Structure 1
Amino acid sequence: MDGTTSSQPSTAPQSLHFHPDYLDAVRAGQKTTTVRFRDPVETGPVSLVFELSDEVALPGVVTQITVKKVAELSESDAHADGFRDLAELHDRLRFHYPRIGLNDTITIVHFRLAK
């Protein structure tokens, strides 16, 4: 052996964890993105996990990743994320990530339920 190791890619899909408040909006197709801060995500199969007393996991697909600053988020970003407006999205980001600032880089994860 030469001391090198090869890592096999994982066959298990990645997981995206959600607050349980978002379950109905995801199921209804009203929430098709999620904004993540310091939470790396890749395109491909994903398990959408909702943290309820009985965990709910829905099969999904991450279709696109968009990187931008918090200050660059738009009203259309807020609507795709299931919020009324940009102010509500900013409020929820501060709730989930209390130390997030306008100049921080975030990832917008575009997803859909698997068929």
Structure 2
Amino acid sequence: MVSMKLFDSERRVIEAAERLAAALGSDPNHTVAAAAMDTAGRIHEAVNVYHFTGGPCAELVVIGVVAAAGAGPLATIAAAGDQGRGLIPPCGRCRQALLDLHPDVFVAVPTDDGPQLRPIRKLLPDTYFFPDADARRMVRFNKRYYEAIATGRKTSTVRYDDPIAPGPAIFLFEDDDAHRTLSGTVTGVERHRLDRLTAAQARLDDGTSIDQLRKGLQGHYPGLPSEAEVEVVTFTVEAPDVMP
């Protein structure tokens, strides 16, 4: 699995979870802390509630805290154990809840190479999707594209192994100090083989050649085979001529 570089904002989420976990005392009913960042850059914190009847994990409690705050979909979540246990991965129940309620969240997990982020769908492959969850979707972009998307100059993106569904979505610009987001709509998703992708299919209209696009994709997705299927995603934004 390709490792994902942690942004500073994502590191802050991990640090918040570990800091709260370190502050937990000897109460056996509260042994895990969770922290989650919403699309506005706010970090929400919570702890688990252990009980023999099946008290909730810290990740589930923080989902409730986020809902109580009226926050939008979660961008990043992390959990840490008390007594110096550090970062811990979510259990199966939490993974299913996160996938259904925040399907685009990135989850921090411990690895031999240190903390890494995984899309929640990678932590629960081939799973059941709760059809009535009605989760608000999110599409991530590099922050350098904010102005082009906000002004309507950029209306498409090419993705690999990053399922995006048509419909309303929040456009999140990663590691943006201003935590700017845009509301928009994914209008279409087309699948094409990378080695057969044409400039017209890729909606190239900014002077980028199809060869440059392919090389850029293979640089962004290390090991991407030339025969891989990629998705061309088209979208619109609300009030694209309004700048902050």
TM-score (norm 2): 0.41
Which of 87, 101, 111 aligns to 2:225? It is 101
Stretches of 4+ aligned residues off by more than 4 angstroms? none
Rounded Cα–Cα distance in structure 2 between residues aligned with 1:100 and 1:8: 32
Q: How does 1:22-101 map to 2 (within 5 A)?
A: 22-51=145-174, 52-76=176-200, 77-79=202-204, 82=206, 84-101=208-225
Name the Cα RMSD after superposition: 2.1
Rounded Cα–Cα distance in structure 1 between residues aligned with 2:215 and 2:140: 19
Rounded Cα–Cα distance in structure 2 between residues aligned with 1:102 and 1:28: 32
Give the C-alpha shift of residue 27 in structure 1. Answer: 1.5
Aligned to 2:142: 19
Percentage of matched positions with identical amino acids: 26
Give the C-alpha shift of residue 100 in structure 1. Answer: 1.0
Q: 1:27 to 1:19 in 2, by over 3 A?
A: same
Matching residue's letter, 1:29: G
Rounded Cα–Cα distance in structure 1 between residues aligned with 2:171 and 2:216: 19
Q: 1:25 to 1:91 in 2, by over 3 A?
A: farther
**Whose relative contact order is higher, 1 or 2, with alpha carbons under 8 Å and at least 6 apart?**
1
Matching residue's letter, 1:36: R
Which of the pair is proportionally richer in strand? 1
Aligned to 2:9: none
Give the C-alpha shift of residue 23 in structure 1. Answer: 1.3
Rounded Cα–Cα distance in structure 1 between residues aligned with 2:208 and 2:161: 24
SS in structure 2 at match of 1:7: coil
Contact 1:78 1:86 in 2 (8 A): no
Contact 1:78 1:89 in 2 (8 A): no
More divergent stretch after superposition (19-28 vs 62-71): 19-28
Matching residue's letter, 1:64: G
Rounded Cα–Cα distance in structure 2 between residues aligned with 1:11 and 1:78: 30
SS in structure 2 at match of 1:75: coil
Spell out, residue by residue over 1:38-81, the C-alpha distance to the aligned partner (whole angstroms, 9 max, x if none): 1111110011111112322100101111011101221221515x
Spell out, residue by residue over 1:77-115, the C-alpha distance to the aligned partner (whole angstroms, 9 max, x if none): 1515x5522122123212221111210011111111035
